[in-house]
Amino acid sequence: MARSSVVIFFDNDQRRFLVGKESSWVTNIDLDADQLKIIDNLFSRKVHGDLRYNDPGEMGYYKSQLHEFKRSRVMDKIKPLAQHHPPRITFGDIKYKKRGGHLYSYTTPQFLPAGSKPNFPAGGSKHMNGSLKDTAVREFLEETGIDLKKEPFDISKLIDTGLEASGYRIFVYVPTEAEFLEASANITSKNLDGYAELHDLEFVSTKTNIATHARKQFGKFTKKTRHSKQRWRRTLRERTD
């Protein structure tokens, strides 16, 4: 059973959908021991008390650490590999662990590599009891800046297609013109945010190469392919008429 969700957010004409470019972990680069130590020192610290998922205080702290990181010598290793100059640096989810009898928070810096391909807003459940719909809404907000729980959006319009592919449950949202305009403003703001998980967000026509990418990733459903595609199209048609 899927523990991750993906949101395919169309424009109001259902001719384009929202995608963004995925970041990569800095630690996937061939770094030496000293460079790894720089990352560990900048992106972990002792904390006190119980902290909720992505605690605002911890988020603020690690955002400030990114400024220090951009001045570190690790950046010399990232610059030749990055799609943008200066490189866009962000970080993933904040985690917590015990170390030496104390609780520490930690995260890992990410960057946008050259040749990064577009992808749909998606992610995994962070709580065992969280529903896949909750996961879809949270990840969509984190990655696009669009809160489907707030006006003018209508959370009841988020369609659970019941289909799964590559370990993801597929959700679909078709906005009104007003919602599309609000979404466009949100993603414009998010693209200026150096801490975005998805970069270069945009609505892309299904006639472009992204359509091929979408079919490759979500075309081979885990159920019978023909039946699943027909069901998905029928669901969209019924919910948007």
Give the pLDDT confidence score for residue 3 in this predicted structure: 80
Give the pLDDT confidence score for residue 41 in this predicted structure: 96
- Distance of alpha carbon 220 from alpha carbon 225, whole angstroms: 6
- Distance of alpha carbon 26 from alpha carbon 54, whole angstroms: 20
End-to-end CA distance of the chain: 30
Give the pLDDT confidence score for residue 42 in this predicted structure: 97
Residue 90 backbone dihedrals phi, psi, to 5 degrees:
-140, -165
Neighbours of 142 (CB within 10 A): 16
Q: What's the burial of 78, exposed, middle or buried (CB within 10 Å: 0-12/13-18/19+)? A: buried
9 to 103, 122, 128, 204: CA distances (angstroms): 38, 11, 25, 11
- Give residue limits of the domains in the chain: 4-22+116-240, 25-111
- Asked, as a colleague might, if the bond just before 109 is cis with ω within 30 of 0, I would say no
Give the pLDDT confidence score for residue 140 in this predicted structure: 92
Long-range contacts (CB closer than 8 Å, 24 or more residues apart) made by 93-101: 93/53, 93/54, 93/126, 94/53, 94/54, 94/55, 94/58, 94/59, 94/62, 96/47, 96/51
44 conformational bin, left if phi > 0, alpha if psi -120 to 50, beta if neither: beta
Q: 4-22+116-240 belongs to which CATH class?
A: alpha beta
Q: What letters, b where the CB count within 10 A reaches 16 and e where it falls short, cover 159-190?
A: bebebbbeebbbbbbbbeeebbebbbebbeeb
Is this prediction's pTM over 0.75?
Answer: yes
Query: Cβ distance 122 to 3 under 8 Å?
Result: no
DSSP summary character for residue 48: -
Cα angle 116-31-56, degrees, rounded to a multiple of 5: 65
105 to 111, 118, 120: CA distances (angstroms): 20, 30, 28
Per-residue pLDDT of the chain (241 residues; tens, 9 = 90+): 668 899 999 998 888 899 999 899 999 999 999 999 999 999 999 998 778 777 888 989 999 999 999 999 999 999 999 998 889 899 888 888 888 889 999 999 999 999 888 889 988 876 555 789 999 998 899 889 899 999 999 999 999 988 887 788 889 999 999 999 999 999 988 888 766 778 899 998 866 666 566 656 555 444 444 455 555 555 545 444 4
